[in-house]
């Protein structure tokens, strides 16, 4: 069989390396399908595929490995099956799983020669970036949106990493704008989706990433009022499933709450005051005006619905969603967590609710209403996606992989694709790492501990202070702040209790700024959990006894190496001191709070928040753009 | 603080209108009588109230959300329902079922192109299976056209696939009506002798032809089309503020706001458009009627605006200062060559809608001195009432302009003995909105490119001398074409490749000489060696890239949206570089 003639001819010397390569592909969506096809036909020896997503109808316009009958099935598994059907010889492994699962450890990443990111969200991109830096595996990062796309080669110590440049983070809105003073359609849409929907059908808190709940002296009293409103809404939920429920909700949010807002006369001196709307009036007029059934109205996504139509859809969708939730609750096993509904732009009933509720609120505030088509895009963070852009970007990814396999990083490139007709894509040379980057310009070290015994106190005192010479002024952070000089509530907790386990990254931020110098760069400790097995118990006990005699002795941890932790470079004069290279969008917020920190009662909030902002990859700060191929083109 | 978004589109991302929606119909204000209220604020508050009531009776056009809309949702947000409809009406012909051709078609079948036909007479070989994802061992020895059509058809049942077992030499004799069933033809790696004839027929019939080729790491794409007009070019922004030449209502609106009488909060919420209008007026009065023109004057003008700041949070003034450069630019008509084009000026019975619209726009410019207003108002700091009032001023003008054009189009149509509704209101509205950004591409034929008399000799020869330029790759494709035709095989396909290399080089030199050059240059020699080394090897990855580029251009041509490239692109997978030339 001359199965390889074409490629060998064209690829020449690289082909042997391609054949021997073991690569990981994270994501089997738009870019992923194209990439998998290209990797298979280029002859890559072993391909691993990880994706947690399932196939949706709206994927089929570009994700050609999937068909109608695959809807709701695992992307990774179907992609593997389809690709192997056409090319039975290829070694293809697929996992329907989250790349952040502990099974995909640093050691697992190290098995690959190369990792391709074909992801759709910032959070996972950052995570894989960090894993590849730690495992020292080259990464090819890619993304598309509409006609635009980008490919970036990331090699630890040689090139910029994904986080060397700040990324634009999806916008969040101040809670008061959403709840009290909306002025744009998007404010009403966020209200409908992140406040009303979640309070009625979802989890009982407004901790949505769309909302910025920070309290300051300006909004403290209003935030208090809003909390009261939340409570009142919860009481209405007692009527859940009764025929009264829809009316109660309607009157609460479109009449009672609005009346309360109107009572704050000062707020409406320079704004158009909201006008409450009445359930009874709609109830009377809607039947006369809307001849169509609600489902018929809702199936029409292009025109802007009339008020009466919005009312009819609102009523209908509240009833449907209530019935659905009740059914779920009935079916739920005793003792399991209470089932909830979550907004999904492709779940028509949830979308209809958001459209109608948002438009009714727009009416109240004199804001223009929007069509279902438009609201779907705004509520669902929909990113346009087409086959052609994905095909081009996936092709470029493979071209870049040849440079890496050929140890020719100097000729690897950052490639941008735009819809400008003068040039199809433009390339830039790879830049060296940003010395201020908090993700790649850090010190790293592995630490083996028994997470069920090792405490935060042990870490701070034994490892950081005694062994590594840190001062008192440090913060210890995972996905939350665990410790700093003013926050020692956790010191007696074990790693296990703090949620630190095998594979967790613990970041140490040096906050001591010696005269004429800078703090040390962040230290990233990667935890290897060592569980004491029976045979070792004796030894451990012995050691423990020994320990008790001698006080704190470093017997119950092991560092993989003694890391060298250089000082940070002197910041460029233009940079504000507070703006540590942070890219999670929290900087602005914390900087703002800092200025208001004279206000005593706010100090604690401020410290916590500022700390958090100094760490780069923190899930809760990131609004996941939950569709294919979101990218950030700076 | 209140920030208002422009209604309809924002100015940073591509608009996502649908065929039937537009900013002018987004709410009922625009359909109000267009007299400017004497006191802008009071009048608008009323209109605003009316808008909320009127909406309730807004008729809804029948459009039912189907599974198909959901499947195509992510692309509808780029080219909207009208683009999708054009795609679904299209029938694309592919000549030769190569891997690259299949990849182009794949990217057209997935988004729902109405129909495709593959014409080819070869049987599937091992090499085909290597390079084409959709062929496997079971396809071996079967007709390539049939097998590739089968596999592509599986991707999307909305697209109707046909195959024709046809030797491309027979194309010479086909009835010219054969071509008329296709909206566009894609030809991959076809011999010049066949290609030139096909290209000629299609050129005369104004059917777009897209050529592709790929060898080793090199790819080539050429669009051959005599005339291509685009209304929806999707500019980054359609904002057109006319601050240098405000129409009476706009001027009146600005005059009616007495900044000195406003309290601090109101003062900080005056839209920057009004601030600029006021200070421009003051400046002109102090400078003999002329606006700030040179750099120093513009800085003085910025200082003048700055002197008016009263609030500690002067965001609206900052916006005004940031917009000074744009505001002091004279509003021009950027498309005069289109408006003056004989095709617009001398309409005839076969004139396309585009040229009739262009003529109406030309007449509008002759009357008004400017193009119809887009009516888009950008995001700015302002209180709701004043923002909406200002937006209404812009929209009303846009509606008036559109109505004039509509009237004129009807006159032109009846003069041509065509029904006055031959051009729909939606089309006129879209044209008015994008009139500053309409595009006419007058392509060059393959004949013009290949004939040394009309070839772009200077461009090609200077390109060959450019360091790291990609023109040598273009030359390589041209030389390989000739080599293949003469030898009935690709260079590099025999054991001994040295003769082929020499042979290919002498063919390339012939081409260069025919264009008036004298030598190939070092980089062209290197590239030719790479062509010989790669043989006829088609790398799937390059075919896939080509499939992406090619289909993207086809979609632009079929939907008549976005601006297609002019007219040749070559790319180099070794350097990850591409270059575009008009050849």
* Binary contact (A57, B127; C-beta < 8 A): no
User: What pLDDT sits at residue B461?
Assistant: 95
Q: Which of B65, B117, B112, B105 is nearest to B86 (CA)?
A: B112
- Is the Cβ of A5 closer than 8 Å to some Cβ of chain B? yes
**B541-575 pLDDT, tens digit each:** 999 999 999 999 999 999 999 999 989 999 999 88
Angstrom distance (rounded) from CA B406 to CA B403: 5
- Is the Cβ of A168 closer than 8 Å to some Cβ of chain B? no
Angstrom distance (rounded) from CA B71 to CA B73: 6
Q: What is the DSSP letter of A427?
A: E
- Is the Cβ of A569 closer than 8 Å to some Cβ of chain B? no
Residues ≥6 apart with Cβ < 8 Å to A337? none
State how far residue A458 is from chain B, nearest Cα, in angstroms.
Answer: 49
User: What pLDDT sits at residue B321?
Assistant: 94
* pLDDT over threshold 70, residue A209: no
Residues ≥6 apart with Cβ < 8 Å to A574? none
Query: Which region among A2-16, B395-409, B462-476, B504-518 has the lowest average model confidence (pLDDT)?
Result: A2-16
Minimal Cβ distance to A427: which of B112, B540, B577: B577
For residue B127, what is the nearest residue in chain A, using CA coordinates? A6
- Is the Cβ of A58 closer than 8 Å to some Cβ of chain B? yes
Q: Confirm if B515 and B455 have CB atoms less than 8 A apart.
A: yes
Structure tokens at B380: 């700015």
Q: Confirm if A431 and A162 have CB atoms less than 8 A apart.
A: no
Angstrom distance (rounded) from CA A400 to CA A397: 5
The fraction of chain A above a pLDDT of 70, given in percent, is: 80
A132 tagged catalytic = no
Alpha helices (H) along B205-294: 248-255, 264-267, 272-286
Angstrom distance (rounded) from CA B425 to CA B431: 10
**A345-387 pLDDT, tens digit each:** 888 899 999 999 999 999 999 888 999 988 998 888 788 889 9
Minimal Cβ distance to B130: which of A6, A300, A377: A6
Q: Which of A59, A66, A95, A105 is nearest to A83 (CA)?
A: A66
* Binary contact (A424, B571; C-beta < 8 A): yes
What's this model's pTM, rounded to 2 decimal places?
0.80
User: What pLDDT sits at residue A85?
Assistant: 82
Query: Residue range A517-523: average pLDDT?
Result: 87
Q: Which of B413, B425, B500, B517 is nearest to B465 (CA)?
A: B517
User: What pLDDT sits at residue B21?
Assistant: 33
User: What pLDDT sits at residue A485?
Assistant: 85
H helix or E strand, kind and range, residue A153? strand A148-154
Angstrom distance (rounded) from CA B331 to CA A100: 54
* pLDDT over threshold 50, residue A38: yes
State phi, psi for A121 to the nearest 5 degrees.
Answer: -145, 150
Output the CA–CA distances (angstroms, integers) from residue B49 to A180, A224, A365, in the order listed: 21, 33, 11
Instruction: Mutate one of B544, B550, B574 to test the A interface: name it (highest A CB count within 10 A).
Output: B544
* pLDDT over threshold 90, residue B338: yes
* Binary contact (A181, B2; C-beta < 8 A): yes
- Is the Cβ of A60 closer than 8 Å to some Cβ of chain B? yes
State how far residue A621 is from chain B, nearest Cα, in angstroms.
Answer: 24
For residue B14, what is the nearest residue in chain A, using CA coordinates? A146
User: What pLDDT sits at residue A97?
Assistant: 93
Q: Confirm if B91 and B29 have CB atoms less than 8 A apart.
A: no
Mean pLDDT of chain A: 79
Output the CA–CA distances (angstroms, integers) from residue A309 to A312, B26, B59, in the order listed: 5, 17, 11
Angstrom distance (rounded) from CA A297 to CA A303: 10
Angstrom distance (rounded) from CA B111 to CA B89: 12
- Residue B164's DSSP bridge partners are B119
Q: Which of A407, A38, A99 is nearest to B100 (CA)?
A: A38
User: What pLDDT sits at residue A545?
Assistant: 42
Minimal Cβ distance to A299: which of B65, B269, B563: B65
Mean pLDDT of chain B: 86
The fraction of chain B above a pLDDT of 70, given in percent, is: 89
For residue A65, what is the nearest residue in chain B, using CA coordinates? B155
Angstrom distance (rounded) from CA B103 to CA B186: 12
- Is the Cβ of A409 closer than 8 Å to some Cβ of chain B? no
The band of A577, judged by pLDDT with boundaries at 50, 70 and 90, is very low
Catalytic-role residue among A33, A132, A176, A440: A176
State how far residue B212 is from chain A, nearest Cα, in angstroms.
Answer: 15
For residue A6, what is the nearest residue in chain B, using CA coordinates? B537
CA B143 to chain CA mean position, Å: 37
* pLDDT over threshold 50, residue A619: no
Minimal Cβ distance to A37: which of B75, B107, B133: B133
Angstrom distance (rounded) from CA B498 to CA A272: 82
Minimal Cβ distance to B130: which of A3, A304, A368: A3
Number of H helices, E strands in chain A: 22, 16
Q: Starting from the edge strand earliest in sequence, which strands make up the sheet with A413-417, in order?
A: A91-95, A46-50, A22-26, A114-117, A139-145, A148-154, A413-417, A425-429
Give the count of beta carbons closer than 10 Å to the beta carbon of residue A213. Answer: 15
**A79-88 pLDDT, tens digit each:** 999 998 877 7
Query: Residue range B234-263: average pLDDT?
Result: 92
* pLDDT over threshold 90, residue B409: yes
Q: Which of A574, A577, A608, A573 is nearest to A593 (CA)?
A: A608
Q: Confirm if B80 and B17 have CB atoms less than 8 A apart.
A: yes
**B416-429 pLDDT, tens digit each:** 999 989 999 999 99
Question: A466-494 burial, b for 16+ CB within 10 Å, e for fewer?
Answer: eebebeeebbbbbbebbbbeebeebbebb
Output the CA–CA distances (angstroms, integers) from residue B28 to B52, B63, B396, in the order listed: 8, 20, 11
Output the CA–CA distances (angstroms, integers) from residue B121 to B142, B171, B187, B264, B479, in the order listed: 10, 12, 14, 79, 25
Residues in chain A within 8 Å Cβ distance of B21: 302-303, 371
Q: What is the ipTM of this complex?
A: 0.85
Angstrom distance (rounded) from CA B59 to CA A280: 24
Q: Which of B260, B280, B269, B308 is nearest to B386 (CA)?
A: B269
Minimal Cβ distance to A424: which of B69, B565, B566: B565
State how far residue B2 is from chain A, nearest Cα, in angstroms.
Answer: 7
State how far residue A140 is from chain B, nearest Cα, in angstroms.
Answer: 14
Structure tokens at A449: 């501990």
* Binary contact (B549, A424; C-beta < 8 A): yes
Query: Residue range B173-199: average pLDDT?
Result: 92
Q: Confirm if A133 and A161 have CB atoms less than 8 A apart.
A: yes
- Is the Cβ of A299 closer than 8 Å to some Cβ of chain B? yes
Structure tokens at A404: 């890496």
Q: The tokens 């978004």 sit on which residue?
A: B5
Highest mean pLDDT among A208-212, A527-531, A577-581, B182-186: B182-186
Structure tokens at B376: 């888009």
State phi, psi for B537 to the nearest 5 degrees.
Answer: -55, 120
Residues in chain B within 8 Å Cβ distance of A40: 133
* pLDDT over threshold 60, residue A622: no
User: What pLDDT sits at residue B50?
Assistant: 40
State phi, psi for A49 to the nearest 5 degrees.
Answer: -130, 125
Q: Which of A598, A583, A615 is nearest to A168 (CA)?
A: A583
Minimal Cβ distance to A34: which of B131, B544, B577: B544
The band of A208, judged by pLDDT with boundaries at 50, 70 and 90, is low
Residues ≥6 apart with Cβ < 8 Å to B178? none
Q: The tokens 């909060």 sit on which residue?
A: B265
Angstrom distance (rounded) from CA A246 to CA A360: 14
What are the sequence ranges of the domains in chain B? Answer: 234-440, 449-536
Count CB pairs under 8 A between chains A and B.
Answer: 259
Q: The tokens 């202070």 sit on which residue?
A: A465
Residues in chain A within 8 Å Cβ distance of B563: 421
User: What pLDDT sits at residue B13?
Assistant: 36
The band of B61, judged by pLDDT with boundaries at 50, 70 and 90, is very low
Structure tokens at B11: 């100015």
Residues in chain A within 8 Å Cβ distance of B1: none
Query: Which region among A136-140, A450-454, A514-518, B570-574 has the lowest average model confidence (pLDDT)?
Result: A514-518
State how far residue B346 is from chain A, nearest Cα, in angstroms.
Answer: 30
Structure tokens at A508: 């140490």
User: What pLDDT sits at residue A213?
Assistant: 61
* Binary contact (B5, A289; C-beta < 8 A): no
Q: Confirm if A175 and A212 have CB atoms less than 8 A apart.
A: yes
> Which is more confident, B548 or A541?
B548
User: What pLDDT sits at residue A66?
Assistant: 95
Domains annotated for chain A, with CATH where assigned, are 5-169+385-429 (3.40.50.720), 173-379 (1.10.10.520), 443-570 (3.10.290.20), 573-619 (no CATH)
First to last CA, chain A: 47
**B8-19 pLDDT, tens digit each:** 333 333 333 333
Structure tokens at A477: 């952070």
Q: Is B3 left (phi over 0), alpha (psi -120 to 50) or beta?
A: beta
Angstrom distance (rounded) from CA B371 to CA A504: 62
Instruction: Mutate one of A40, A391, A425, A626 to test the B interface: name it (highest B CB count within 10 A).
Output: A391
Structure tokens at A500: 């630190």
**B271-317 pLDDT, tens digit each:** 999 999 999 999 999 999 899 989 999 999 999 999 999 878 788 99
What is the DSSP annotation of B166-185?
--GGGGGGS-THHHHT-SEE
């Amino acid at each position: 069989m001359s199965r390889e003639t074409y490629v060998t001819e064209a690829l020449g010397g690289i082909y042997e390396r391609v054949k021997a390569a073991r690569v990981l592909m994270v994501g089997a969506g738009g870019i992923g399908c194209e990439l998998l096809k290209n990797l298979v036909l280029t002859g890559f020896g072993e391909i691993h595929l990880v994706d947690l997503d399932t196939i949706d109808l709206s994927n089929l316009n570009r994700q050609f490995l999937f068909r109608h009958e695959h809807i709701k099935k695992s992307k990774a598994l179907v992609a593997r099956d389809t690709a192997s059907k056409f090319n039975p010889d290829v070694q293809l492994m697929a996992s329907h799983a989250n790349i952040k699962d502990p099974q995909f450890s640093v050691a697992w990443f190290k098995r690959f020669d190369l990792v391709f990111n074909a992801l759709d969200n910032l959070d996972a991109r950052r995570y894989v970036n960090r894993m590849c830096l730690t495992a020292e595996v080259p990464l090819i990062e890619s993304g598309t949106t509409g006609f635009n796309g980008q490919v970036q080669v990331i090699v630890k110590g040689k090139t910029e990493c994904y986080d060397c440049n700040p990324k634009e983070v999806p916008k969040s809105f101040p809670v008061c704008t959403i709840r009290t003073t909306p002025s744009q359609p998007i404010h009403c849409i966020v209200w409908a989706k992140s406040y009303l929907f979640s309070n009625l059908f979802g989890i009982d808190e407004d901790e949505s990433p769309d909302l910025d709940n920070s309290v300051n002296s300006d909004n403290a009293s209003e935030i208090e009022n809003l909390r009261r409103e939340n409570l009142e809404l919860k009481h209405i939920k007692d009527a859940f499933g009764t025929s009264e429920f829809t009316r109660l909700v309607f009157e609460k949010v479109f009449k009672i709450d609005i009346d309360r807002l109107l009572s704050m006369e000062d707020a409406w001196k320079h704004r158009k005051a909201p006008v409450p709307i009445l359930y009874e009036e709609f109830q009377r007029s809607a039947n006369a005006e809307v001849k169509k059934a609600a489902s018929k109205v809702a199936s029409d996504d292009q025109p802007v619905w009339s008020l009466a139509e919005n009312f009819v859809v609102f009523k209908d969708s509240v009833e449907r969603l209530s019935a659905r939730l009740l059914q779920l609750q009935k079916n739920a096993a005793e003792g399991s967590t209470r089932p909830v509904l979550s907004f999904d732009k492709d779940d028509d009933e949830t979308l209809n609710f958001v459209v109608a509720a948002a438009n009714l609120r727009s009416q109240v505030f004199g804001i223009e209403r929007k069509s279902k088509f438009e609201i779907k895009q705004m509520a669902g963070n929909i990113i346009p996606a087409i086959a052609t852009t994905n095909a081009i970007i996936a092709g470029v990814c493979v071209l870049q992989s040849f440079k890496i396999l050929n140890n020719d990083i100097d000729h690897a490139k950052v490639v941008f694709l735009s819809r400008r007709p003068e040039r199809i894509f433009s390339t830039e040379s790879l830049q060296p790492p940003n010395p201020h980057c908090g993700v790649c310009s850090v010190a790293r070290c592995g630490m083996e501990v028994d997470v069920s015994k090792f405490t935060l106190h042990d870490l701070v005192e034994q490892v950081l202070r005694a062994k590594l010479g840190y001062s008192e002024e440090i913060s210890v952070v995972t996905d939350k702040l665990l410790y700093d000089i003013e926050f020692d509530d956790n010191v007696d907790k074990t790693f296990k209790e703090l949620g630190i386990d095998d594979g967790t990254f613990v970041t140490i931020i040096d906050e001591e700024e010696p005269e004429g110098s800078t703090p040390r760069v962040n230290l990233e400790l990667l935890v290897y959990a060592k569980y004491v097995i029976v045979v070792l118990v004796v030894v451990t006990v012995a050691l423990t006894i020994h320990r008790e005699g001698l006080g704190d002795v470093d017997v119950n941890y092991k560092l993989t190496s003694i890391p060298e932790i250089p000082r940070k470079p002197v910041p460029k004069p233009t940079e504000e001191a507070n703006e540590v290279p942070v890219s999670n969008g929290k900087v602005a917020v914390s900087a703002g709070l800092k200025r208001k920190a004279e206000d005593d009662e706010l100090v604690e909030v401020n410290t916590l928040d500022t700390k958090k902002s100094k760490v780069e990859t923190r899930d809760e700060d990131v609004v996941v753009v939950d569709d294919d191929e979101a990218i950030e083109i700076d | 603080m209140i920030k208002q978004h422009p209604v309809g589109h924002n100015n940073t991302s591509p608009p996502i209108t649908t065929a039937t929606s537009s900013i002018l119909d987004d709410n009922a204000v625009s359909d109000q009588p267009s007299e400017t209220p004497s006191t802008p604020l009071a009048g608008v508050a009323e209109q605003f109230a009316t808008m909320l009531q009127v909406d309730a009776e807004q008729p809804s056009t029948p459009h039912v959300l189907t599974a198909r809309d959901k499947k195509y949702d992510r692309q509808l947000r780029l080219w909207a329902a009208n683009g999708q409809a054009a795609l679904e009406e299209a029938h694309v012909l592919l000549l030769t079922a190569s891997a690259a051709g299949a990849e182009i078609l794949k990217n057209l079948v997935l988004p729902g192109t109405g129909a495709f036909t593959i014409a080819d007479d070869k049987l599937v070989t091992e090499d085909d299976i290597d390079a084409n994802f959709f062929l496997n061992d079971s396809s071996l020895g079967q007709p390539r056209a049939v097998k590739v059509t089968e596999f592509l058809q599986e991707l999307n049942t909305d697209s109707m696939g046909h195959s024709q077992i046809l030797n491309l030499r027979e194309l010479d004799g086909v009835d010219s009506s054969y071509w008329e069933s296709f909206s566009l033809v894609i030809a991959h790696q076809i011999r010049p002798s066949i290609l030139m004839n096909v290209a000629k027929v299609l050129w005369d019939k104004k059917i777009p032809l897209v050529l592709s080729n790929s060898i080793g790491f090199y790819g080539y794409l050429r669009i051959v089309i005599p005339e291509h007009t685009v209304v929806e070019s999707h500019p980054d922004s359609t904002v057109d503020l006319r601050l240098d030449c405000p129409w009476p209502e706009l001027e009146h609106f600005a005059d009616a706001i007495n900044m000195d009488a406003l309290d601090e909060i109101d003062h900080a919420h005056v839209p920057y458009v009004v601030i600029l209008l006021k200070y421009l007026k003051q400046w002109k009065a102090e400078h003999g009627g002329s606006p700030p023109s040179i750099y120093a004057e513009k800085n003085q003008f910025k200082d003048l605006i700055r002197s008016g700041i009263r609030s500690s949070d002067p965001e609206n003034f900052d916006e005004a200062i940031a917009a000074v450069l744009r505001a002091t630019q004279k509003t021009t008509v950027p498309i005069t060559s289109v408006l003056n084009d004989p095709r617009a000026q001398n309409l005839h019975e076969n004139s396309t809608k585009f040229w009739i619209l262009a003529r109406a726009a030309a007449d509008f410019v002759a009357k008004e001195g400017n193009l119809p207003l887009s009516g888009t108002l950008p995001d700015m700091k302002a209180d709701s009432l004043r923002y909406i009032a200002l937006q209404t001023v812009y929209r009303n003008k846009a509606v008036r302009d559109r109505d004039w054009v509509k009237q004129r189009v009807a006159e032109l149509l009846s003069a041509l003995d065509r029904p006055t509704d031959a051009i729909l209101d939606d089309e006129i509205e879209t044209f008015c909105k994008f009139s500053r950004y309409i595009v006419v591409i007058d392509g060059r034929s393959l004949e013009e490119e290949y004939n040394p008399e009309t070839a772009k000799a200077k461009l090609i020869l200077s390109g060959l001398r450019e360091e790291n330029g990609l023109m040598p790759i273009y030359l390589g494709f041209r030389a390989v074409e000739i080599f293949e035709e003469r030898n009935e095989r690709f260079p590099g396909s025999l054991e001994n490749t040295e003769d082929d290399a020499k042979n290919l080089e002498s063919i390339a030199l012939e081409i260069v000489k025919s264009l008036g050059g004298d030598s190939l240059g070092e980089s062209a020699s290197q590239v030719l060696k790479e062509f010989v080394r790669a043989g006829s090897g088609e790398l799937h990855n390059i075919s896939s890239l080509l499939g992406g580029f090619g289909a993207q251009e086809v979609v632009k041509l079929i939907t008549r949206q976005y601006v297609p490239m002019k007219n040749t692109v070559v790319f180099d997978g070794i350097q990850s570089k591409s270059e575009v030339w008009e050849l």
